[in-house]
Amino acid sequence: MSRRFTPSVVTANDLFEGDVVYLTPDQGWSRDLSHAQLFTDARAAEAALAQAQAQSDRLVGPYLAAARSGPNGPEPAHFREAFRARGPSNYPHGKQEAGMCRP
Amino acid sequence: MYAYSEFDRAFLRTRNTQFRAQVERRIAGNLTEEEFRPLRLMNGLYLQLHAYMLRVAIPYGTLNSAQMRQLAMIADRWDKGYGHFTTRQNIQFNWPRLNDVPDMLDALAEVGMHAIQTSGNCVRNVTADHFAGAAADEIADPRPVAELLRQWSTDHPEFQFLPRKFKIAITGSPNDRAVTRAHDIGLRTVLRNGARGFEVIVGGGLGRTPVIGKVLADFIPEADLLPYIEAILSTYNSFGRRDNKYKARIKIMVNELGLDDVRARVEARFRTLRAEWQGVDQHILNDLRRAFAPPAFRVAPTDGFDTAYQRDPGFRAFADTNLAAHWQDGYAIVTISLKAHGATPGDASSDQMRLMADLAERYGHDELRISHEQNVILPHVHKSDLPALYAALKTAQLATANIGLASDIIACPGMDYCALATARSIPVAQDIARAVAAREHDIGGLKIKISGCINACGHHHVGHIGILGLDRAGVENYQITLGGDATETAALGERAGPGFAYDQIVPAIERVLDAYLDLRRGPSEDFLATFRRLGAQPFKDALYLPEVSAHAV
C-alpha cells in the first residue's frame, strides 16, 4: 500500500539572495509562503518539483515541504518550515524585514 | 603577529580570482549547483536556512585592529551590520548575496584574511588558547606553532580530501582553555628536561559520538612535531573510514583500531617521513617566533586602577569577573563579553567591532583575540588604562561583567540560521541569560553550553550544564546533560533524563541552579565541584519533581 501523500508546497532557495522561495499557482516564485500553491496530489507535486529542479539557473535545492491550508493560504506543517517562512527569531531580519510575514 | 608574505598574498589573489570566475560561471548557468557546491564550500560559502553564510577564518583567534575594522566594514557594506563569532574562533556573516562574495573575499585579502578551509574535509582553522602569549600560567606562546600548522595545512595537496573534516587545537598552558581533548588532534605544550615539546592527544571530538581524546604521545620534541602530525594525518587519510560519513572522523578510527595500533602505524609512518624533513620548518618556526614576540610593554604606576577599583562598584565587578592574570607585571588580560544579558551570544555589531578595534589600538598593543567561548579578548592592557577602557566599553553594551558566569553561554546558531539544526539555540540562551542575570554572581563559575543539533557546535557535552535541542515528533525538545568539563580535566556530561519542551527549558535550568545553591558547601564550591561531590541524582530530583514532571516528555 502506498503512503498517503502529505499536502506540500514546492520550495527552494533563491540562487542570488539565498532567500526561501515558493512555487506559486501561476508558475512563478514568491518569497511569501501564503502565496504558494498547495499540492494535494502526489503526481502533480512531483511534476512541479521536477520543473523546479530544471530551474537551476535561479534556484538551489528545491524540495517538497509539508504544508496545510490556512485562511490566508498555505501554512507550515513543521516548525523548521515555519522558521524558513518567517526568518530568524533573534533579529527582525530576512522576510520579517521585508514585512512579508504575518505575526 | 604574523604578517602575510608576498607568497601568501599571491596565493590569495589567485584563489580569489578563481572563485570570482566560478561564481560568474554559476550565475551564467555554466556550472550546476552540484558542480558549484564543493567549490563554494572550499571558499567558506554555505547556503543556510534563509541566506548564504560566509565563514571567515581567524587563525588561532588572533586579529589586529585593521582586520577587525575590515570585518566591520564588510558587515556594513555587504551584510546586515553585524558578525557572529563562533566556537571555532571564526566569524560568520549570515546574509551575503552570492554576487557580492567575491568582493567580500577581496576585501578580506586586503587585510590578510580569507575563508579557505573553513569547510570541507580538510584541516580546518587551527584554534588556540585565546590568552596565548599573555597568560600568567603559560609555558610558551603556542601561536608560532599554530601559524606553522596553518601554513603547512593550507592547500596541502595530500590533505584536501580527508575522510572527514579535521580540527587541531593547541595550548601553551597547563590550564587548558582550548578544549584540546575535544579535537581530532590536541596539542599541549610540555617541558621535559628543560626542552619544549608537546603532548599529542588524538581522537577527541563532540558531535554524535562524543569522545575525550587519548594521549597518543606524551612528549614529541618541538622539532619533530610537524612530521609527527603529518604522520597522523597520513595514517588517518589511509585508514580512516570513507564508507559512512558518521564514522569517518579520526575518533572512530582510533576506537576501531585501538590506540596502540594507531600509535604503531603513526610511528612507522613517522620514521619514513622524518627523514624527508630537512629543517626548513624549524627555520620558519624561528622566524614566526620573532613575529609573535611580546609587544613593548611599558612600566607605569597602577594607582588609577586601584582608585577606580575602590570607588566604582561597577568597575570592581568588571575587574573581578572579566580580567585574567597576565605574565607581565602591571598588565591584565581583558575579556570583553559578547553576552550582554539577552543578546545573541557571539554577535558583535559593526559599531562594536570598530570600538573594540579602536580600544585595541589605543590600549591593547593592537591585538585582539576571539575565544571559542564567543567573546573578544584584549590580551595586553596596562592596568592604568583599565578604567578608561571600561568606560568606553560601557558606551557600547560591551562591559557586562559575566565572564565565566551563568549568562556567559556558548550557543551555536541553531535553527534560526543553520540548515542542519533540529531546534533553536539562540533564544534559549537569551532567555536563560535574562533569567539568571540577577543571581549569577552568587551562583559563581558556571559553563552553560547549548547546541541546536547533535553535531554539537555549541559544545554541550562539555558544559557543566549542557543543552541539546532536538526535534521530537515535530516539536522542539531540549535534553540536559550535567557535569561536563572542557578543561584539562575534561569530561563528558551525563544525560539527566527526558527532555523539556521549549517553554519549559528555562525553568528546568533554574531548578538545577536552585538545587546547586541549596547543596553547595559554600560559595567557594562551584557547580562542577558540587556535582562531582554529590553526583547527578540530587540535580535529577530537582529537574523531575513530581509536580512538574508532567511537562517532561
Q: Which residues of chain B make contact with A14, given a CB cutoff of 8 A?
A: none
Chain A residue with minimum CA distance to B476: A79
Instruction: Quote the distance between the C-alpha of residue B127 and its chain's center.
Output: 7
| DSSP category for residue B4 | -
Which stretches of chain A sit within 8 Å of chain B by CB? 13, 15-20, 56-57, 60-61, 78-80, 83-84, 87-91, 93-95
Residues B426, A88: C-beta atoms closer than 8 Å: yes
Q: How many CB atoms lie within 10 A of CB B550?
A: 7
B375 contacts: CB under 8 Å, gap ≥ 6: B85, B335, B336, B337, B338, B339, B346, B403, B408
- The whole-number average pLDDT for the span B71-85 is 98
Q: Which residues of chain B make contact with A100, given a CB cutoff of 8 A?
A: none
Please report the pLDDT score of residue B68 as a whole number: 98
In a domain, B129, yes or no: no
Q: Which residues of chain B make contact with A90, given a CB cutoff of 8 A?
A: 344, 416, 426-427, 430
Rounded distance between C-alpha atoms, residue B259 and residue B214, angstroms: 8
Residues B97, A95: C-beta atoms closer than 8 Å: no
Residue A101: pLDDT above 90?
no
- B11's enclosing H/E stretch is helix B6-27
- Smallest CA–CA distance, residue B533 to chain A, in Å, is 38
Residues A80, B415: C-beta atoms closer than 8 Å: yes
- Smallest CA–CA distance, residue A95 to chain B, in Å, is 9
- Smallest CA–CA distance, residue A79 to chain B, in Å, is 7
Shared domain for B203 and B60, answered yes or no, is no
Find, among B496, B499, B513, the residue nearest to B435 by Cα. B513
- Smallest CA–CA distance, residue B315 to chain A, in Å, is 29
In a domain, B399, yes or no: no
Shared domain for B39 and B169, answered yes or no, is no
A97 contacts: CB under 8 Å, gap ≥ 6: A87
Q: Give the mean pLDDT of chain B.
A: 96
Q: Which residues of chain B make contact with A75, given a CB cutoff of 8 A?
A: none
In a domain, B127, yes or no: no
Task: Say if residues B123 and B159 touch (Cβ distance below 8 Å).
Answer: yes
- Smallest CA–CA distance, residue A17 to chain B, in Å, is 5
Q: Which residues of chain A make contact with B52, given a CB cutoff of 8 A?
A: 18
Rounded distance between C-alpha atoms, residue B398 and residue B348, angstroms: 9
Instruction: Quote the distance between the C-alpha of residue B156 and its chain's center.
Output: 23
The conformational region for residue B31 under phi > 0 = left, psi -120 to 50 = alpha, else beta, is beta
Residues B33, A61: C-beta atoms closer than 8 Å: yes
Residues B50, A18: C-beta atoms closer than 8 Å: yes
Shared domain for B345 and B387, answered yes or no, is yes
Residues B475, A79: C-beta atoms closer than 8 Å: yes
In a domain, A1, yes or no: no
Q: Which residues of chain B make contact with A95, given a CB cutoff of 8 A?
A: 50
Question: Measured in Å, how far apart are chain B's first and last C-alpha atoms?
Answer: 51
CA distances to A35, B38, B155, B476 from A80, in Å? 18, 25, 36, 10
Q: Which of B236, B262, B291 is the last residue of a domain?
A: B291
Please report the pLDDT score of residue B238 as a whole number: 97
Which CATH number fits the domain that encloses residue B484? Answer: 3.30.413.10
Rounded distance between C-alpha atoms, residue B322 and residue A30, angstroms: 48
Shared domain for B414 and B537, answered yes or no, is yes
Evaluated on CA atoms B463, B461, B493, B424, the torsion sign reads positive
Domain that holds residue B333: 303-394
In a domain, A78, yes or no: yes
Domain that holds residue A57: 8-89
Q: Which of B370, B394, B418 is the last residue of a domain?
A: B394
Give me the number of domains chain A comprises: 1
Residue B197: pLDDT above 90?
yes
- The whole-number average pLDDT for the span B467-478 is 97
Q: Which residues of chain B make contact with A79, given a CB cutoff of 8 A?
A: 415, 471, 474-476
Cα torsion through B414, B501, A65, B100, rounded to 10: -20
3-state secondary structure B135-199: ECCCCCCCHHHHHHHHHHHCCCHHHCCCCCCECEEEECCCCCCCCHHHCCEEEEEEEECCEEEEE
In a domain, B404, yes or no: no
Residues B50, A20: C-beta atoms closer than 8 Å: yes
Give me the number of domains chain B comprises: 4
C-alpha Rg value of chain A to the nearest Å:
13
Please report the pLDDT score of residue A1 as a whole number: 45
Using alpha carbons only, give the angle B242, B245, B247 rounded to the nearest 5 degrees: 80
In a domain, B55, yes or no: yes
Q: What is the pLDDT of residues B293-351, one digit of tens each?
A: 999 999 999 999 999 999 999 999 999 999 999 999 999 999 999 999 999 999 999 99
Find, among B62, B137, B115, the residue nearest to B360 by Cα. B62
Q: Which residues of chain A make contact with B95, given a CB cutoff of 8 A?
A: 93-94
Find, among B413, B457, B378, B485, the residue nearest to B63 by Cα. B378
Residues A90, B426: C-beta atoms closer than 8 Å: yes
**Complex confidence, ipTM:** 0.95
Task: Say if residues B92 and B345 touch (Cβ distance below 8 Å).
Answer: no
Please report the pLDDT score of residue A100 as a whole number: 65
Shared domain for B429 and B523, answered yes or no, is yes
Q: Which of A56, A79, A90 sits opposite B427 (nearest CB)?
A: A90
> What does B266-307 look like in DSSP terms, one character per residue?
HHHHHHHHHTT--SHHHHHHHHHHHHTPPP-------HHHHH
In a domain, B448, yes or no: yes
- Smallest CA–CA distance, residue B475 to chain A, in Å, is 7
- Smallest CA–CA distance, residue B39 to chain A, in Å, is 15
In a domain, B126, yes or no: no
Cell of A62: 528545491
Q: What is the pLDDT of residues B18-72, one digit of tens each?
A: 999 999 999 999 999 999 999 999 999 999 999 999 999 999 999 999 999 999 9
Report the percent of chain B where pLDDT is more than 70. Answer: 99
In a domain, A14, yes or no: yes
Cell of B543: 529537574
- Smallest CA–CA distance, residue B50 to chain A, in Å, is 5
The residue length of chain A stands at 103
Confidence of residue B546 (pLDDT cuts 50, 70, 90): low
Find, among B174, B185, B40, B193, the residue nearest to B118 by Cα. B40
In a domain, A66, yes or no: yes
Q: Which residues of chain B make contact with A86, given a CB cutoff of 8 A?
A: none
- The whole-number average pLDDT for the span A37-45 is 97
- Chains A and B form CB pairs within 8 A to the count of 69
Residue A103: pLDDT above 70?
no
Q: What is the pLDDT of residues A78-100, one digit of tens each?
A: 999 999 999 999 999 999 987 76
Task: Say if residues B307 and B314 touch (Cβ distance below 8 Å).
Answer: no
Pairing state of beta strands B448-451 and B465-472? parallel
| DSSP category for residue B337 | P
Residues B426, A56: C-beta atoms closer than 8 Å: no
Q: Which residues of chain B make contact with A19, given a CB cutoff of 8 A?
A: 50-51
Shared domain for B141 and B285, answered yes or no, is yes
Please report the pLDDT score of residue B397 as a whole number: 98
Q: Which of B51, B417, B427 sits opposite A17 (nearest CB)?
A: B51
Shared domain for B146 and B273, answered yes or no, is yes
Residue B553: pLDDT above 80?
no
Which CATH number fits the domain that encloses residue B319? Answer: 3.90.480.20
Shared domain for B161 and B287, answered yes or no, is yes
In a domain, A97, yes or no: no
In a domain, B70, yes or no: yes
CA distances to B135, B142, B236 from B292, in Å? 14, 10, 31
Residue B144: pLDDT above 80?
yes
Task: Say if residues B134 and B143 touch (Cβ distance below 8 Å).
Answer: no
